[in-house]
Structure formats: C-alpha cells, structure tokens
Chain A
Amino acid sequence: MKEIRKPKFMTKDRIRAYLPVFALLFVIALFAVLTHGTTIKINNLKQIMLQSCTYIVAGLGIIFTMSLGNMDMSLDGIVSLSACLGLLATEATGSWVMFPVIFLIAIACEMAIGGINILLGINSVIASFAVSFFGKGVAGFIIGNRTKALSLPGEFSFLYNRTGFYMITIAAVLVLTVLFHYTRLGKRAMAIGSNPNAAKAAGIHVTKYKLLSYLAAGIMMGLATILIVLRSGSTSATTGSGFHVSVLLMMVIGGAALTGGTKEKIYSVVVGVFIYLCLENGLTVLGTSPEVIGLIEGIIFLASVTLTFDREGVPYIL
C-alpha cells in the first residue's frame, strides 16, 4: 500500500515567515511583565506608534529595492540632503516648496543608485554608499557654511500631529501592500531578485522594473524625510545619521530576506520596526544602560540574520 505523506506543518520557510511575529508578541509580553504593565499603557503604545512612522514609511520603500537583492545603504545621506535642500528652499522662498523639493531630491538619489547599478554594473551597495557620502557631503557643506542649523518655519508645525502621522503610515502600508504583493511591479521585482537571468528569459523587462522599484523607494524616502523634518522641526548635518543602519536592522529583525526574491513580505517591515522599538522602549523603561541596549540589539541582529538568511538564495558564500 502506498504511503501518503502529509505536507509538513512546520517547514523552514514557515518558521522563517512567522518567527518575527511570535518574537514581537514575545517581546511585548515579556516587557509588559518585567515593567509591570508600563510598556503596554496607552500613552506608551501611542509613543511607540509615533516613533514607528518614519521607519515604516522608509522600510516600505526599501523593501522594493531589497526584493531585487540590492542593499541600500544610502538612507542617511538621502535624508540629510533632501531635508537640507528642502528647508533651504522654504527658507529662501517662505513657501511650501519644501515638500516637492524633498520628494524630488529623494527620488533623484534613489534613481541615481538604480542608474549606477544598472548602467555601470556597479554593485548596489557601493552605489548607495557613494550616494550616501555625496548626500552627507553636500548637506555638510551647505550647513557648514551657515552659522546655525536649518529649522522648520513655525507655520508648518501644525502638520506634526499624531493622527496625521498614523493616517499617512496606515495609508502607506495599505497602498504599498497592494503595490508589492498584487501588482506586476512587486511581483516582477521579486522575480528579478530571485533570479535575474530567469526573469529576463521569462520576458520581464529587468531594467524597467529595477528603475520602477528605485522610483518607489525614492517616493517613500521622500515621505519618510518629510515625517522626520516635521517631527524634529529642524535639520542639521547630522540629520539622518544612523538611519540606514536602523532601518536595515529593523527589516532583518522583521524577517526581510537580505538576498531578496519572492520571500519578501511587507509585514516584515512593520513587524521588524515594532520589535526594535518595543525592545528599545522596554529596555529604557527598565533603566538599562545604553551600552547594554546596544549589546542586546547586536545579539538580536546577529540571531535574526542567522535565522532568516536564505543560504539557498545565494549561489555561493565566500
């Protein structure tokens, strides 16, 4: 009699996909117990949600380039440059011109990375580092020649409110989920990330979809920069410092695959951001020293990469 093999419930991919969700629940529950409920008080949860907005919006854009298998290390430079030029434009004209300028600069930066990667065949990590240095360099030069940092004019401060931030973030998650999982753009970006040669052979216009992915990343980076400027009310040459590392860390903790491909999920951005912020918030509430927080984050990052790294997704490991 032929044995019928039931499909396995606990496959490696399933664990990989759901582990971050369990980790988030675990972190929330653990800190709720350790802090006697302080971390799950409504006010604290509202703060965490507010803090999450910029990271989620940025992550939603970067997941597109990540799904191509391309790492983007330029976020700090993009934030610094677009915020600086945006506020400079508003300072000069006293108008709302800041918003289109920020979007245009962020899109131009991301498209530059895509262009360098595609046209010159230069690795995306190198291209994004180049854009990062360029962005920080220009912003540093502009601000270095001033006597003070740039600040957001008072008439725009009403734009910084919790409800607005939540609405923008929820709308971004919904739109980007549809775009990433249910349209040609997202599906083809993931197909390119899985195997660019196979995607090309299947008739996918690789260059077009790569550039469209960078365009999506640029738009979301513009939006993230606007949220950062509204939240901090100013920009200096240090604006955005460490932002790329934080976003990458959050995405990896959330289960985003560093190798790109069809295993990328939008929810990994949201889950990763919340794990990271709940962890940082919980440790601060516990009175943990900053050095220990850094150590714990490092260990968790290492564990996350080890658990989620898809060895089959890369042809070889050096």
Chain B
Amino acid sequence: MKKKWMKLVALSLSLMMVLLTACGSGENSGSSAPENGETESSQTEEETGGEAADGDLTVGVIIWSTDDGLGADSKTALDAVAADLGVNLIYRTGSYDAENQTTDIENLIAAGADGIMCCVIVDTSTDELLKVCEEADVDYQVFFRNIIDEEAYNYCMASDHFAGYICEDEGAAGVDMVDELIAQGCTTFGLINREAGNGVVDRRQQGTMEYLEEKGLTYYVSTNTSTATATEMVDATDQLLAAYPDIDGLILSSGSNGAIDAIITDLEGTDIKLTSFDTPADIEGAFNAGNLCMLTTGAQIDPVYALINLYCKMTGNPKSETPTEYGSNYIYMKSAEDAKTYEQYFGAFNTYTADEVKSMADMDLDSFLKEIENYSLEMVADKMK
C-alpha cells in the first residue's frame, strides 16, 4: 500500500515537472521577429509558436476567450499583426470580474509585459486596472470597450499611461438590427440581453431598446448573466418564446461563448428571425439554416488597431499627446453570400500586409483615423481581388 502511495506521489510530481518544463521550453520555441517587410500578415500560429514574434516588446492581452468565434478571430489577427510589429503577445482569458482582471494584469506585468491590452469586463473598474499599470510604469490600452463611468473616464483620459480605447458604434448597430428585422416583416421583438455592467453590451442594448420605443414597437426582454453558458442562453430564449409566443424577431446582444451557435440551432424549423452580435463558427451554415437574417461582426479588427496604437505609445511615438478615442466599424452580413465573402477574406487575417501594418504604425493620427473609417467588407474584398 505504502509503495503504491509513493508511486502515485512520484508519478504526480513527475507529470507536473514534465508539463511545467514543456511550458518553459515552449517560451523560446517561437520564430524570431521578422527583420524585413517580406513576412506576410497571414503567418500562421504554428509558425509563430502559438505567440507572436520574439521581439523586444511584450504586450499582455486580456480577453474573455480565444476560442469562441470573435475571440479566436481576434487572436488570429493579433498574432499576425504582432509578428509584423515584432511584438510578443501573452494572453490571459476567462476572467469575468474586476478582481480577476486585476490579478491578470499583475501576472502579465510580472511576465515582463511592457504594455497591457484589456477588454474590460466591469466598466467602473477601468481606472482601477489602469492604476495597476501606472504603478508598474506600463502602458494600458482598452479594446472592444469605451468608458461610460464619468469618474473612470476622467481618470483614464488624464493619465500618461493610458494609450486610449477603441470601440464600435454599438447603439447604431442595435438600430440597424431592428431595421433589418422590420424589413423582414417582424412586428414583435424579443431581446436576449445581458445584465448591466459591461459598457459595450449596455450601449448595444440601450440603443436597441430606445429605438424600439421610439418606433412604438412591442418588445420583451430576457436578461441573462454575463457568464451565461450557451445552454443557459438557449434555455432563456426558449422561456422567452414560450412566455410570449407572438415574438417573431429576436435580437441577441452578445453571442459569445458559443451562445449564438446554440440559439441558431435551437431556432431551426421555426419562422422566428434572428439578428445577432458576434460570429458563429459556421457563418454560411448559420444563414442557410434560415432564421439568421443579420450578423453584426468583423470586430476582430478592433484589437488590431488597438495594438498598433499601443505599440506607437510604447515605442515613444504616440498617435496623440492625449489618450486616443477610436470608433471602429462593424461589418454587417445579411446573407449566405455575404458570409461566403466574409469567410473567404477573413478566415485567416489578411486585411493588411506586414508593410501596411508598419505603415499604419508610422501614420499620423488623421491618416490612421481615416484608415479605421475605411474598414468594411467591401474594402477588404476589393483589396484581396
């Protein structure tokens, strides 16, 4: 018995040792930073050892996930651009509250991060997270988020370590989604919302509801937690539809963590139309299933611009003397044809070549803003042709 016990102890420690050693050796397995502009932006993750290039600068990226639709696309795009800029990336995922995001930042700084990119979960904690960076003399960039809380906003905008934030026009996207459902003949709307506290989702939901009220349309709301799983979101959808059978148009304010895929599958065989933020794994298949009539997505470009902006600040060439406030475009898809085009051009990140990425880093603020404004499905498709 004792021998068996000792064997188990030895086995566990050995296993731990092997795993940790493997992780340690993985650090240096990445390829070196591109020395010239010949490296393509579409460089794969395998080629870069799972992280970006082995450059002088390290950026810590805090994002909800790197394996759902938008999270995975964002990682692909970030890895490619980081390789072009010669920046190492370290990711932290799965933190859904302010305290865990604080811990993430502390650990990333310990890992040698010179800059932090954060998709902030709790709007009112944006300034608290910045304070951790300030203490360590590290620059901080917010992506996929703006700052609603006035106190947090004022603190961040006055900080020397705040590079800025980038966010899409969430309210306008909500309005466009309602219009699309009206065009599809919908009259009664169901909103699958998330609880308050996430600045971006709050603005989406607010924009959608205000527009529905302005139009005098009937709508019902199901509010779910920010951490709701795909199954929980499907349950919430079913319950809303069971309670209000006259609903013929659904708006999903956040399809992350597989929620969108699960709800599309759940609606199959019904006449209910769906519009949603975020991206399902099989976009073309989702449109062919018949219920999905509009997707608001393409936001993976958001962290790309954020990384370039942060890179400029970290290298002493900030786009502006004060923190920058960028608005990034969404891409709308309304058919399987759009989805096909999207998947053709966005499957791997090839929106910008390495030369273009470097050129964007050198641009002045106005030119950079113009570049951000130009981003659209058509722009990317034209470039690829």
Spell out A's residues near B (CB within 8 Å): 10, 12, 15, 19, 23, 26, 30-31, 34-35, 38-39, 41, 43-44, 47, 50-51, 54, 136, 140, 143-151, 154, 228, 231-242, 280-292, 294, 296, 299-300, 303, 306-307
Q: Which of B16, B50, B151 contacts A300 (CB 8 A)?
A: B16
10 tightest A-B CB contacts, nearest first: A232-B98, A236-B197, A233-B128, A151-B124, A34-B24, A234-B124, A149-B197, A284-B107, A303-B12, A290-B93
* Known A51-B106, A287-B26; contact A236-B16, beta-carbon cutoff 8 A: no
Q: Taking chain A's interface residues, is the majority helix, strand, or loop, or is none over half, making it mixed?
A: helix
Task: Tell me if B182 counts as interface (CB < 8 A to partner A).
Answer: no
Chain B residue at minimal CB-CB distance from A41:
B110
The reply to whether A149 and B124 form a contact with Cβ atoms under 8 Å apart is yes
Which residue of chain B lies nearest to A228 when distances are taken between CB atoms in the complex?
B99
Contacts of B90 in A (CB 8 A): 284, 287
Q: Which residues of A contact B223 (CB under 8 A)?
A: 140, 144
Which residues of chain B come closer than 8 Å to A41, judged between CB atoms?
Answer: 110
B97 touches A238 (CB 8 A): yes
Q: Is A238's CB under 8 angstroms from B226's CB?
A: yes
Taking the complex as formed, is B114 at the interface, i.e. its CB lies under 8 A from any CB of chain A?
no
21 A–B contact pairs at CB < 8 A? A12-B5, A143-B195, A144-B223, A149-B197, A228-B99, A231-B99, A232-B97, A236-B97, A236-B124, A237-B225, A239-B122, A240-B97, A242-B96, A282-B20, A284-B107, A286-B23, A287-B26, A287-B27, A289-B50, A290-B93, A291-B66
- Please tell me if the beta carbons of A294 and B94 are within 8 angstroms of each other in the complex: yes
Docked pose: A200 CA to B65 CA in angstroms: 51
With A238-B121, A238-B122, A287-B90 as given contacts, are A54 and B99 in contact (CB-CB < 8 Å)? yes
Q: How many Å from the CB of A10 to the closest CB on chain B?
A: 8
A281 near B107 with CB under 8 A, answer yes
Number of A-B contacts (CB under 8 A): 183
A151 touches B149 (CB 8 A): yes
Interface centre among A30, A38, A144, A307 (most CB of B within 10 A): A144
Whether A307 pairs with B21 at a CB distance below 8 angstroms is: no
B136 → A minimal CB distance (Å): 8
- How would residues 179 to 203 of chain B score, 1 for a CB under 8 Å from any chain A CB and 0 otherwise? 0000000000000000111110010
Residue of B50, B122, B195 touching A232 (CB-CB under 8 A) = B122
Chain B residue nearest to A10 in the complex (CB):
B2
- B23:A288 contact, CB within 8 angstroms: yes
Given that A238-B226, A239-B97 are known contacts, is A299 also in contact with B26, CB under 8 Å in the complex? no
Q: Of A140, A234, A241, which is in contact with the most chain B CB atoms at under 10 Å from its CB?
A: A234
- Is the Cβ of B226 less than 8 Å from the Cβ of A237? yes
Asked if A290 meets B91 with Cβ closer than 8 Å, knowing A15-B5, A238-B122, the reply is yes
Besides A231-B99, A238-B227, 5 more A-B contacts (Cβ < 8 Å) are A238-B197, A241-B227, A283-B20, A283-B23, A284-B90
Cβ–Cβ < 8 Å partners of B24 in chain A: 34-35, 286
Q: Which residues of chain A are near B66, meaning CB under 8 Å?
A: 289-291
In the assembled complex, the Cα of A185 lies from the Cα of B14 at a distance in Å of 40
Taking a contact as CB atoms under 8 Å apart, the answer to whether B102 and A232 are in contact is yes
Q: Does B217 contact A (CB under 8 A)?
A: no
What is the CB-to-nearest-CB distance from B77 to chain A, in angstroms, rounded to a whole number? Answer: 17
Closest B residue to A239 using CB positions: B97
8 Å CB interface, B10-47 against A: 12-13, 15-17, 19-21, 23-24, 26-27
Within 87-121 of B, Cβ neighbours of A (below 8 Å) are at 88, 90-94, 96-100, 102-103, 106-112, 121
Contact of B98 among A43, A148, A236, A292 (CB under 8 A): A236
| Contact B110 A44, beta carbon cutoff 8 Å | yes
Cβ contacts under 8 Å, B149 to chain A: 148-149, 151
Q: Return A23 CB to nearest CB of chain B, in Å.
A: 8
Residue interface mask B115-149, A partner, CB < 8 A = 1: 00000011111011000000000000000000011
Partner of A307, one of B12, B15, B152, B206: B12
A233 and B124 contact, Cβ closer than 8 Å, known pairs A149-B196, A238-B225: yes
Most B-side CB within 10 Å, residue of A41, A241, A284, A292: A284
Contact of B125 among A232, A240, A288 (CB under 8 A): A232
Q: Is B9 an interface residue (CB 8 A)?
A: yes
